[in-house]
Structure formats: structure tokens, C-alpha cells
Amino acid sequence: MKPTLAFIILIAVIFILSFFHLKKDPVRSVQYILSKPKAILIQPLGDFDTKLAKLNLKALSNNHYGCQLLKTIPHFPTSYYKPRDRYRADSILKFLRYKYGPDTVVIALSRQDISTTKKLIKDWGIMGLAHSPGNVCVVSTYRLDKNKLSEQLYKVSIHELGHTQGLPHCPDTTCYMRDASGGNPLNYEKDFCPKCKKVMQLKGWKV
């Protein structure tokens, strides 16, 4: 029996409505279908504190089974921005992007100040930067509270790793994915909000 025209139109309408519904809710979109977790490679740069790197490894390992701490490598000389005595985060990401395999996500750790271009501001100081979605991010401890260094390093790390998984900034001010907006709001961040947490779980994270 051939389908009637009305039936075909009904199926088409349902498909179109479903497509727009998925676009409105990123947690249910095809971008976040359950996928195999990638290995997380922690890459210290320059004179980054080895003890602090190991603490960050331990903290991230509670959320992801495939974390590994790599040997320290020098900062990339061409990423240095002499006028402001800091390193360009976008250049660091460019160097690390193809250094490891496609089944990995690299998070670089630096104690030096880092920056990027933000709209009309050529050199904007930041705590971290990531390709979103992507396989590389970088975090700096330069702007973190030295009395809560390990805790804040973890929060910035999980934020940037969230970006690599495709998460945007979140309006929830207690969520790890909130926008720092040029400050340091890390003490107000408590966890991923339910929506962001769902995305990370679909990506294989234990959050």
C-alpha cells in the first residue's frame, strides 16, 4: 500500500520539528551522542611546578580514567610576546594541536602569564584557552589565587577541558563553565550545572 500524501507531509513535519528541537537543546543534539573517551595528556611547560602538576593529575583522574602526566617541555619561543612579557595562548595551542594522536586531548600547564586576542583587544590576559570543540587547551596559574592554587588550577583545567568537549560558556554562576569575564570568579564555582554535567557524562567523563 503506497503512503498517502498527508502521511508523507506528517513525517516531514515531525522530522523538521525534531531537528529544531535538537538545535535548541545541545545536550540532546547529535554533537553530544555518547562517544568513546579520549586520553587526557597533561603537558607541563617551562618551569611548571612538578608537584602541582601531579596534584592536577590526581584531581582530573577522579573525573576521567585516561589521564597521563607527560615530561615537561620548554615553552615555545615563538609564542612569547615580548611587549607584555607573556606567552600567546593561541600560538601554544597551534604548536600542540598536531603533536599527539587524534584520540587524545592535550592540556598544557604554564606558570607564565598567557594571552589571546579578544575582539578589538589585541592582547587580552587570560587564565586559559581551548579549541572548542577540539583536542588541545592551555591553562596558566599566573592569575590564580596562590592560597588556593591546586583547587583553582583544577577548576580552570576542567573548564578548558569542557570547552574541548564542545561546551560553551554557561550562564549558571556556580558552574565550572561560567565565563570569567576578565576576573577570577573561581571561588564561586562549585560543580558543573546539571545541563553541562550531562554533556560531559555523554562524553565519558565521571562528573
Judge whether 180 and 197 are in contact, CB under 8 Å: no
Our CA dihedral for 85, 156, 48, 61, rounded to 10 degrees, sits at -160
CATH of 10-202, one of 3.30.2000.20, 3.40.390.10, 3.30.160.20, 3.30.565.10: 3.40.390.10
Q: What is the pLDDT of residues 85-124, one digit of tens each?
A: 999 999 999 999 988 888 999 999 999 999 999 999 999 9
pLDDT at 29 over 50: no
Per-residue pLDDT band at 188 (split at 50, 70, 90) = very high
The pLDDT mean for the chain works out to 88
Per-residue pLDDT band at 28 (split at 50, 70, 90) = very low
pLDDT at 44 over 60: yes
What are the start-end ranges of the E strands in 39-135? 39-44, 67-69, 80-81, 86-88, 104-110, 114-118, 121-126, 128-130
Q: Domain boundaries in the chain?
A: 10-202
Residue 49 CA to residue 56 CA, distance in Å, equals 11
